[in-house]
Structure 1
Amino acid sequence: MPKLVNSLPHATFAAKKYPHLQHIQLADPDYNISNKIDILLDAKIYAEIIMSGLIKGTKQQPIAQQTRLGWILSGPVTTFNSHVLINGVEDIANYWEVEEIASETTPMTQQELFCEELYTKTTKRLPDGRYEVRLPMKTDFEEHLGHSKARAVAKFKQLQSRLMKDSTLRQSYGQFIHEYIDLGHMRKCTEQKEPMCYLSHHGVQKLDSLTTKLRVVFNASSKTSTGNSLNDLMESGPKLQQDIQSLLLRWRTYRYVYSADCEKMYRCILDPEQ
């Protein structure tokens, strides 16, 4: 490789005379002077040259490790920063691809653009303040959506059996169904129109919850007779949440951060002394 990294460290700094390092021979006595890299060693070679000697100083002082090439320094220090700048090393690109931060401005695919245009054209607000949103179904989804009534009825009978054994669950489930009707979230189906998909549902209890002790889940991932579910035949649209990598990196730039989930304040410990 013609060039691996720029000079290391990035800039020359004044070396500090640490008492615990005065009697040893460093592998690089001029470690504080910015210079080019002489040789790149594989991790296997490092395992062969490492020795048992280890010298530690106080906090914020480097640790000296003995090797067959001399003593090397490592550890947290506040005296200087060494920045490795990588340039033109396509041959070892796989080493940093894992660390690459995804761009937040990635162009949308045709399917994602379809979802955006669909929501823009069809979403409307009703007189009662609620929003009406059209499902982003895939092209020719009718041909791939199979029959689902038999499986949904079987699941409903299982649910009935469970409700008959638990009066508390039965009462909570009934309240949920009536609330859904009162809010206008569902109504009785009076016409048979194809294609039609029957969604099974079940309840998830969390008795220690301070708000909702019962959550009813509608299973749109249940397969129909063709092997496709309702979810399979809908476009997913663009990702709305932020990239986790960029979110975590931005999190670390602040001393105090808030988490909306648990309503607690967390402090990012960036100072090694704390």
Structure 2
Amino acid sequence: MLVQSKIGPMIAGSGDIKKLCKNELYPKEVVYSTNSNINSELENFWKLETIGIQESPQDDDDDQALKHFKRTIIKQGGRYQVCWPWKDSKQKLSNKYGLCLGRLKNLINRLQHNSNLHSYHQILMDQLHSGIIEVVPPKDEVGVIHYLPHHEVLTPSKSTTKLRIVYDASAHHKGFKSLNEVLYRGPVMLPDLVGVILRFRMMRIVITADIEKAFLQLELQNEERNCTRFLWL
């Protein structure tokens, strides 16, 4: 008989096993052969590639980036200094001065049009006074000379940061790589969102906090700074 349950309809009740089961013979033919390469055949069979699953090369890249970070990070003057996790030759970067100059002219015109030029300039001056950015010293030719274009991102709905400056590390000349392309991405170390939500619901009282400009508190080591130059008035 059919019985309704929490997981759906189920068949239940007594029955005659002899009537339900059939005793039938099904002949099968088995061929035995010897293969001296059975070990290699089994190895090929069990390789991940044979079932369409391949180990992601990104995992190795993430390990390389993390090892490089741990090996090169230093603390100086109360702030941590880091190096870029290069994966290709730095020489594959072009100077991009002309590209950045053209983008800067368009940026100035756009900021003047939407009345954000003063705010943009003030952000850069605040970063200069805080030691986040610096004026390029005269005759500084250390490392690779490479310029980054930048632009504004407007979020009027935010109560604090209505305007942010974003640097375009994906820009490049034809035949050359961008800064993003010659760097390891690095592992994503943000906490799992599901875990955050579960922990948030476990406690009666929760507190949220934020470190102001946390990313900007990291410094580039001297020999790494010239590849992140940018132009301003």
TM-score bin (small chain): 0.5 to 0.7
- From 149, 157, 162, the counterpart of 2:97: 149
Q: How far is 1:134 from its partner?
A: 0.8
Question: What is the CA deviation profile of residues 21-56 of structure 1, one whole-angstrom value per residue up to 9, with x for unaligned ones?
Answer: xxxxx985318xxxxxxxxxxxxxxxxxxxxxxxxx
What is the aligned-residue identity percentage? Answer: 24
Deviations 1:171-195 (A, max 9, x none): 1111101011111121222324552
> Cα RMSD between the aligned structures?
3.9
Contact 1:148/1:223, CA 8 A, preserved across alignment = yes
1:226 aligns with 175
Q: State the one-letter code of the partner of 1:165.
A: H
CA contact (8 A) 2:153 2:166 kept: yes
Task: Give the SS at the match of 2:150.
Answer: strand
Is residue 146–residue 225 contact of structure 1 (8 Å, CA) maintained in 2? no
Distance in 2, matches of 1:162 and 1:251, equals 41
**Structure number with higher relative contact order (C-alpha < 8 Å, ≥ 6 residues apart):** 2
Gaps of 5+ in 2: 14-55, 210-233
For 1:117 and 1:29, locate their aligned partners in 2 and report how far apart those are by CA, in whole Å.
59
Question: What does residue 237 of structure 1 align with?
Answer: 186
The superposition leaves residues 80-136 of structure 1 with CA deviations (integer Å, 9 ceiling, x where unpaired) of xxxxxxxxxxxxxxxxxxxxxxxxxx9984432322222112212222x22111110
- The equivalent of 1:12 in structure 2 is none
Provide the residue aligned with 1:172 in structure 2.
119
User: Take 2:131 and 2:169, find their aligned partners in 1: how far apart are those partners?
Assistant: 20
Tell me, yes or no, if the aligned pair for 1:146 and 1:224 is still in contact at 8 Å: yes
Greater helix share, structure number: 2
Structure-2 separation of matches of 1:253 and 1:164:
47
Kept in 2, the 8 Å contact 1:206–1:213? The answer is: yes
Structure 1 position 243, deviation (Å): 5.7
Distance 1:194 1:214 in 2: 32
Question: Is residue 89–residue 182 contact of structure 2 (8 Å, CA) maintained in 1?
Answer: no
Quick one: which amino acid aligns to residue 135 of structure 2?
A: K
Shift in Å, 1:163: 2.3
Shift of 1:202: 0.9
Q: Residues 259 and 231 (structure 1 numbering): CA distance in 2 closer, same or farther, change over 3 Å?
A: farther
Contact 1:123 1:134 in 2 (8 A): yes
Secondary structure of residue in 2 paired with 1:237 = coil
Shift of 1:217: 0.6
Distance 1:118 1:212 in 2: 33
- Normalised to the residue count of structure 2, the TM-score between the two structures is 0.56
Counterpart for residue 70 of structure 2: 120
Runs of 5+ consecutive residues of structure 1 not aligned to the other structure:
1-14, 19-25, 32-105, 262-274
Structure 2 CA distance for partners of 1:154 and 1:193, relative to 1, 3 Å:
farther
| Paired residue type of 1:210 | S
One-letter identity of the residue aligned with 1:175: Q
Separation of aligned partners in 1, 2:177 and 2:135: 25
Q: Give 3-state SS (helix, strand or coil) of 1:232's partner.
A: helix
Q: How does 1:4-83 map to 2 (within 5 A)?
A: 28-30=10-12
Task: Return the alpha-carbon distance in structure 1 between the equivalents of residues 106 and 174 of structure 2.
Answer: 20
Match of 2:80 in 1: 131
CA distance in 2, matches of 1:146, 1:226: 9
- Residue type of the alignment partner of 1:213: K
Q: Which residue of 2 aligns with 1:21?
A: none
Counterparts of 1:212 and 1:254, CA distance in 2? 26
Secondary structure of residue in 2 paired with 1:132 = strand
The CA distance in 2 between the partners of 1:241 and 1:177, in whole Å, is 28
8 Å Cα contact 2:90-2:144 kept in structure 1: no
SS at 1:131 equivalent: strand
Q: Which residue in 2 is equivalent to 1:88? A: none
TM-score by length of 1: 0.49
The alignment of Structure 1 onto Structure 2 pairs a total of residues equal to 162
